[in-house]
Protein backbone atom coordinates (compact mmCIF):
# COMPACT_ATOMS: atom_id res chain seq x y z
CA UNK A 1 0.00 0.00 0.00
CA UNK A 2 1.37 3.48 -0.78
CA UNK A 3 2.18 5.85 2.09
CA UNK A 4 -0.68 8.25 1.46
CA UNK A 5 -3.27 5.48 1.51
CA UNK A 6 -1.72 4.04 4.67
CA UNK A 7 -1.74 7.45 6.41
CA UNK A 8 -5.33 8.06 5.35
CA UNK A 9 -6.47 4.69 6.68
CA UNK A 10 -4.57 5.05 9.95
CA UNK A 11 -6.11 8.48 10.52
CA UNK A 12 -9.60 7.30 9.59
CA UNK A 13 -9.64 3.92 11.34
CA UNK A 14 -7.00 4.30 14.05
CA UNK A 15 -5.34 1.02 13.06
CA UNK A 16 -3.49 -0.78 10.27
CA UNK A 17 -2.93 -4.47 9.63
CA UNK A 18 0.56 -5.31 8.38
CA UNK A 19 0.38 -8.70 6.71
CA UNK A 20 3.33 -11.12 6.93
CA UNK A 21 5.38 -8.63 8.93
CA UNK A 22 7.39 -11.28 10.80
CA UNK A 23 9.44 -13.98 9.06
CA UNK A 24 8.68 -17.68 9.42
CA UNK A 25 12.14 -18.26 10.98
CA UNK A 26 11.56 -15.61 13.67
CA UNK A 27 8.08 -16.99 14.36
CA UNK A 28 9.55 -20.46 14.83
CA UNK A 29 12.15 -19.15 17.26
CA UNK A 30 9.63 -17.20 19.32
CA UNK A 31 7.19 -20.09 19.42
CA UNK A 32 10.04 -22.34 20.52
CA UNK A 33 10.75 -19.93 23.39
CA UNK A 34 7.12 -20.29 24.49
CA UNK A 35 7.28 -24.09 24.20
CA UNK A 36 10.42 -24.05 26.33
CA UNK A 37 8.60 -22.02 29.01
CA UNK A 38 5.28 -23.86 28.95
CA UNK A 39 5.60 -24.69 32.64
CA UNK A 40 5.29 -20.96 33.39
CA UNK A 41 2.03 -20.81 31.47
CA UNK A 42 0.64 -23.74 33.43
CA UNK A 43 1.96 -22.43 36.75
CA UNK A 44 2.58 -18.72 36.34
CA UNK A 45 2.57 -17.65 39.99
CA UNK A 46 5.01 -18.13 42.77
CA UNK A 47 3.38 -18.37 46.17
CA UNK A 48 6.52 -18.89 48.24
CA UNK A 49 4.41 -19.16 51.36
CA UNK A 50 2.93 -15.76 50.54
CA UNK A 51 -0.87 -15.90 50.08
CA UNK A 52 -0.62 -13.15 47.46
CA UNK A 53 0.31 -14.38 44.00
CA UNK A 54 3.62 -13.10 42.75
CA UNK A 55 5.23 -13.30 39.35
CA UNK A 56 7.98 -15.79 38.62
CA UNK A 57 11.22 -14.58 37.10
CA UNK A 58 13.06 -16.02 34.12
CA UNK A 59 16.24 -13.96 34.26
CA UNK A 60 14.94 -10.40 33.80
CA UNK A 61 11.53 -11.47 32.46
CA UNK A 62 8.61 -11.64 34.90
CA UNK A 63 5.30 -13.45 34.62
CA UNK A 64 2.47 -10.99 35.21
CA UNK A 65 -1.21 -10.31 34.56
CA UNK A 66 -3.46 -7.26 34.85
CA UNK A 67 -6.50 -9.50 35.40
CA UNK A 68 -6.31 -13.26 35.59
CA UNK A 69 -8.62 -13.75 32.59
CA UNK A 70 -6.09 -11.86 30.41
CA UNK A 71 -3.73 -14.84 30.55
CA UNK A 72 -0.03 -14.71 31.36
CA UNK A 73 2.17 -11.79 30.31
CA UNK A 74 5.89 -12.40 30.06
CA UNK A 75 6.93 -8.85 30.83
CA UNK A 76 10.11 -7.27 29.47
CA UNK A 77 10.35 -9.94 26.79
CA UNK A 78 13.10 -7.90 25.09
CA UNK A 79 15.36 -9.69 27.61
CA UNK A 80 14.46 -13.04 26.01
CA UNK A 81 17.11 -13.06 23.26
CA UNK A 82 18.04 -11.53 19.92
CA UNK A 83 14.81 -12.50 18.17
CA UNK A 84 12.91 -10.29 20.64
CA UNK A 85 15.52 -7.50 20.43
CA UNK A 86 15.00 -7.40 16.69
CA UNK A 87 11.38 -6.38 17.25
CA UNK A 88 12.44 -3.12 18.94
CA UNK A 89 13.14 -1.44 15.59
CA UNK A 90 11.69 -3.99 13.19
CA UNK A 91 11.70 -2.67 9.60
CA UNK A 92 8.07 -3.73 9.05
CA UNK A 93 6.75 -1.05 11.42
CA UNK A 94 9.46 1.20 12.89
CA UNK A 95 9.20 3.93 10.24
CA UNK A 96 5.41 4.08 10.62
CA UNK A 97 5.76 4.28 14.39
CA UNK A 98 8.34 7.07 14.11
CA UNK A 99 6.20 9.03 11.69
CA UNK A 100 2.98 8.82 13.71
CA UNK A 101 4.62 9.49 17.08
CA UNK A 102 6.52 12.27 15.35
CA UNK A 103 9.77 11.09 16.84
CA UNK A 104 11.82 13.96 15.40
CA UNK A 105 10.05 16.14 17.97
CA UNK A 106 8.98 13.66 20.64
CA UNK A 107 11.73 11.06 20.61
CA UNK A 108 10.73 7.44 20.91
CA UNK A 109 10.50 4.92 23.72
CA UNK A 110 8.80 1.65 24.58
CA UNK A 111 6.20 2.04 27.30
CA UNK A 112 5.71 -1.68 27.83
CA UNK A 113 6.72 -4.89 26.05
CA UNK A 114 5.41 -8.36 26.77
CA UNK A 115 4.51 -11.72 25.32
CA UNK A 116 0.99 -12.91 26.16
CA UNK A 117 -0.35 -16.46 26.25
CA UNK A 118 -4.12 -16.76 26.72
CA UNK A 119 -6.15 -19.95 27.00
CA UNK A 120 -9.82 -20.97 26.88
CA UNK A 121 -12.15 -18.54 28.69
CA UNK A 122 -9.53 -15.76 28.47
CA UNK A 123 -10.42 -12.27 27.25
CA UNK A 124 -9.85 -8.56 27.76
CA UNK A 125 -12.28 -5.94 28.97
CA UNK A 126 -13.29 -3.02 26.78
CA UNK A 127 -11.07 0.03 27.27
CA UNK A 128 -10.10 3.46 25.90
CA UNK A 129 -11.76 5.73 23.33
CA UNK A 130 -11.79 9.33 22.15
CA UNK A 131 -13.46 10.51 25.36
CA UNK A 132 -10.61 9.56 27.71
CA UNK A 133 -8.45 12.42 29.05
CA UNK A 134 -5.37 10.21 29.37
CA UNK A 135 -2.08 11.92 28.48
CA UNK A 136 -0.79 9.32 26.04
CA UNK A 137 -4.07 8.97 24.11
CA UNK A 138 -3.28 11.97 21.91
CA UNK A 139 -3.55 11.43 18.15
CA UNK A 140 -2.89 14.68 16.27
CA UNK A 141 -1.82 18.20 17.20
CA UNK A 142 -5.07 20.19 17.36
CA UNK A 143 -3.93 23.42 15.76
CA UNK A 144 -1.77 22.15 12.92
CA UNK A 145 -3.09 18.63 12.45
CA UNK A 146 0.42 17.15 12.61
CA UNK A 147 0.84 13.58 13.82
CA UNK A 148 1.26 13.38 17.60
CA UNK A 149 0.21 9.86 18.53
CA UNK A 150 0.84 9.34 22.23
CA UNK A 151 0.92 5.56 22.07
CA UNK A 152 1.01 3.01 19.28
CA UNK A 153 0.47 -0.63 20.11
CA UNK A 154 2.17 -3.13 17.82
CA UNK A 155 0.37 -6.42 18.45
CA UNK A 156 2.09 -9.36 16.76
CA UNK A 157 0.32 -12.67 16.15
CA UNK A 158 2.62 -15.65 16.79
CA UNK A 159 -0.07 -18.14 15.80
CA UNK A 160 -3.23 -17.86 13.72
CA UNK A 161 -6.00 -15.95 15.50
CA UNK A 162 -9.45 -16.49 13.99
CA UNK A 163 -13.05 -17.02 15.04
CA UNK A 164 -13.21 -18.38 18.61
CA UNK A 165 -9.49 -17.84 19.23
CA UNK A 166 -10.05 -14.70 21.34
CA UNK A 167 -9.09 -12.18 18.67
CA UNK A 168 -8.27 -8.57 19.46
CA UNK A 169 -11.36 -6.43 18.94
CA UNK A 170 -11.65 -2.72 18.23
CA UNK A 171 -14.10 -0.08 17.07
CA UNK A 172 -12.74 1.54 13.91
CA UNK A 173 -12.64 5.33 14.22
CA UNK A 174 -13.45 5.38 17.94
CA UNK A 175 -10.20 7.23 18.76
CA UNK A 176 -12.02 10.32 17.47
CA UNK A 177 -15.42 9.57 18.96
CA UNK A 178 -16.76 12.24 21.33
CA UNK A 179 -19.63 10.06 22.55
CA UNK A 180 -18.78 7.69 25.36
CA UNK A 181 -19.18 4.02 24.54
CA UNK A 182 -22.28 2.82 26.46
CA UNK A 183 -20.26 0.20 28.33
CA UNK A 184 -17.74 2.81 29.45
CA UNK A 185 -20.31 5.32 30.67
CA UNK A 186 -21.31 5.70 34.29
CA UNK A 187 -23.59 8.61 35.22
CA UNK A 188 -22.48 10.61 32.17
CA UNK A 189 -18.82 10.09 33.01
CA UNK A 190 -16.48 8.06 30.83
CA UNK A 191 -14.30 5.29 32.21
CA UNK A 192 -10.98 4.16 30.74
CA UNK A 193 -11.73 0.49 31.46
CA UNK A 194 -15.13 -1.04 32.05
CA UNK A 195 -15.78 -2.21 35.55
CA UNK A 196 -13.61 -5.20 36.50
CA UNK A 197 -16.74 -7.29 36.84
CA UNK A 198 -17.26 -6.54 33.11
CA UNK A 199 -17.65 -8.84 30.16
CA UNK A 200 -15.36 -9.78 27.29
CA UNK A 201 -14.87 -6.79 24.99
CA UNK A 202 -16.00 -8.83 21.98
CA UNK A 203 -19.65 -8.55 22.99
CA UNK A 204 -19.63 -4.71 23.19
CA UNK A 205 -21.58 -2.63 20.66
CA UNK A 206 -19.78 -1.94 17.36
CA UNK A 207 -16.73 -4.10 18.15
CA UNK A 208 -15.00 -5.67 15.19
CA UNK A 209 -12.97 -8.86 15.52
CA UNK A 210 -9.49 -8.59 14.01
CA UNK A 211 -8.41 -11.93 12.60
CA UNK A 212 -4.69 -12.33 12.09
CA UNK A 213 -2.44 -14.98 10.61
CA UNK A 214 0.79 -15.92 12.36
CA UNK A 215 3.26 -13.16 11.47
CA UNK A 216 0.63 -10.46 10.93
CA UNK A 217 0.73 -7.31 13.00
CA UNK A 218 -2.11 -5.12 14.23
CA UNK A 219 -0.77 -1.59 14.68
CA UNK A 220 -3.22 0.69 16.52
CA UNK A 221 -3.48 3.87 18.52
CA UNK A 222 -4.12 3.07 22.16
CA UNK A 223 -6.84 5.76 22.01
CA UNK A 224 -9.11 3.45 20.02
CA UNK A 225 -11.83 1.62 21.97
CA UNK A 226 -10.58 -1.96 22.08
CA UNK A 227 -10.07 -5.20 23.99
CA UNK A 228 -10.19 -8.90 23.15
CA UNK A 229 -13.03 -11.36 22.57
CA UNK A 230 -13.32 -14.44 24.73
CA UNK A 231 -11.34 -17.45 23.63
CA UNK A 232 -13.82 -20.28 23.19
CA UNK A 233 -11.55 -22.68 21.29
CA UNK A 234 -9.14 -25.03 23.04
CA UNK A 235 -5.45 -24.18 23.02
CA UNK A 236 -3.61 -20.94 23.55
CA UNK A 237 -3.44 -17.63 21.71
CA UNK A 238 0.12 -16.32 21.44
CA UNK A 239 0.84 -12.63 20.91
CA UNK A 240 3.48 -10.01 21.62
CA UNK A 241 2.72 -6.35 22.29
CA UNK A 242 5.29 -3.54 22.09
CA UNK A 243 3.81 -0.14 23.00
CA UNK A 244 5.69 2.81 21.53
CA UNK A 245 5.40 6.33 22.93
CA UNK A 246 7.24 9.65 22.96
CA UNK A 247 10.36 9.42 25.10
CA UNK A 248 8.63 11.65 27.65
CA UNK A 249 6.21 8.85 28.53
CA UNK A 250 7.85 6.81 31.26
CA UNK A 251 8.02 3.02 31.40
CA UNK A 252 4.69 1.55 32.54
CA UNK A 253 6.04 -1.03 35.00
CA UNK A 254 9.61 0.28 35.12
CA UNK A 255 11.48 -2.98 34.60
CA UNK A 256 15.17 -2.22 34.92
CA UNK A 257 17.06 -3.31 31.84
CA UNK A 258 19.87 -5.78 32.46
CA UNK A 259 23.39 -4.52 31.90
CA UNK A 260 23.99 -7.40 29.47
CA UNK A 261 21.11 -6.34 27.26
CA UNK A 262 22.09 -2.65 27.37
CA UNK A 263 25.61 -3.56 26.26
CA UNK A 264 24.32 -5.80 23.47
CA UNK A 265 21.84 -3.38 21.93
CA UNK A 266 22.72 -1.53 18.74
CA UNK A 267 22.88 2.27 19.23
CA UNK A 268 19.49 2.63 17.49
CA UNK A 269 17.82 0.10 19.78
CA UNK A 270 19.51 1.43 22.88
CA UNK A 271 18.18 4.92 22.05
CA UNK A 272 14.63 3.50 22.13
CA UNK A 273 15.11 1.37 25.25
CA UNK A 274 17.04 3.98 27.20
CA UNK A 275 16.20 7.32 25.55
CA UNK A 276 17.30 9.32 28.59
CA UNK A 277 20.59 7.93 29.82
CA UNK A 278 20.88 8.20 33.62
CA UNK A 279 22.97 11.16 34.80
CA UNK A 280 25.08 10.56 37.86
CA UNK A 281 27.87 12.44 39.54
CA UNK A 282 31.31 11.18 38.47
CA UNK A 283 31.90 9.32 41.70
CA UNK A 284 28.67 7.25 41.58
O1 LIG B 1 -4.87 -8.88 23.83
C2 LIG B 1 -5.48 -8.28 22.96
O3 LIG B 1 -6.01 -8.83 22.00
C4 LIG B 1 -5.61 -6.78 23.05
C5 LIG B 1 -4.41 -6.16 23.71
C6 LIG B 1 -4.61 -4.75 24.15
O7 LIG B 1 -5.61 -4.33 24.62
C8 LIG B 1 -3.47 -3.86 24.00
O9 LIG B 1 -2.44 -4.29 23.53
O10 LIG B 1 -3.57 -2.67 24.37
FE1 LIG C 1 -5.27 -2.24 25.30
In the chain, how many domains are there? 1
Are the CB atoms for 275 and 109 separated by under 8 Å? yes
Q: Atom 3 of ligand 1 has which residue's CA nearest to it?
A: 168
What pLDDT is stored for residue 53 in this prediction? 78
In-domain check, residue 68: yes
> Can you give the residue range of the structural domain that contains 258?
3-42+54-273
Ligand 1 atom with minimal separation from the 228 CA: 3
Ligand 1 atom with minimal separation from the 70 CA: 1
The answer, yes or no, to whether any atom of ligand 1 lies below 6 A from the CB of 168, is yes
What pLDDT is stored for residue 103 in this prediction? 98
The answer, yes or no, to whether any atom of ligand 1 lies below 6 A from the CB of 113, is no
Ligand 1: centre distance to CA 161 (Å): 13
What pLDDT is stored for residue 49 in this prediction? 67
The answer, yes or no, to whether any atom of ligand 1 lies below 6 A from the CB of 193, is no
Nearest Cα to Cα of residue 138 among 106, 168, 164: 106
In-domain check, residue 48: no
Distance CA 50, CA 82 (A): 34
Ligand 2: centre distance to CA 228 (Å): 9
Q: Atom 7 of ligand 1 has which residue's CA nearest to it?
A: 227
Distance CA 54, CA 60 (A): 15
The answer, yes or no, to whether any atom of ligand 1 lies below 6 A from the CB of 124, is yes
What CATH code is carried by the domain that includes residue 176? Answer: 2.60.120.620
User: Mean pLDDT for each consecutive 10-residue tract of the chain (284 residues)?
Assistant: 96 98 98 98 85 89 94 98 98 98 98 98 97 96 97 98 98 97 93 84 97 98 98 98 97 96 97 94 85
In-domain check, residue 279: no
What pLDDT is stored for residue 48 in this prediction? 75
What pLDDT is stored for residue 196 in this prediction? 62
CA of residue 242 relative to chain centroid, distance: 5
What pLDDT is stored for residue 51 in this prediction? 65
In-domain check, residue 133: yes
The answer, yes or no, to whether any atom of ligand 1 lies below 6 A from the CB of 155, is yes
Amino acid sequence: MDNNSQDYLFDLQGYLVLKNAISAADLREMNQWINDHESYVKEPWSTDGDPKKKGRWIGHIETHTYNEENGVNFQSIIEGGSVFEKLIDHPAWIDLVKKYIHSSVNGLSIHENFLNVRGPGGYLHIHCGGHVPLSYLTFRQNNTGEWMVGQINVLMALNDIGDGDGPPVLIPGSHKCTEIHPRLEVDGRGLIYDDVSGKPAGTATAMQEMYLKAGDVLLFTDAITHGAAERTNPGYRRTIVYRYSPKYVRERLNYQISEDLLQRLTPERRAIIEPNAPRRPPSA
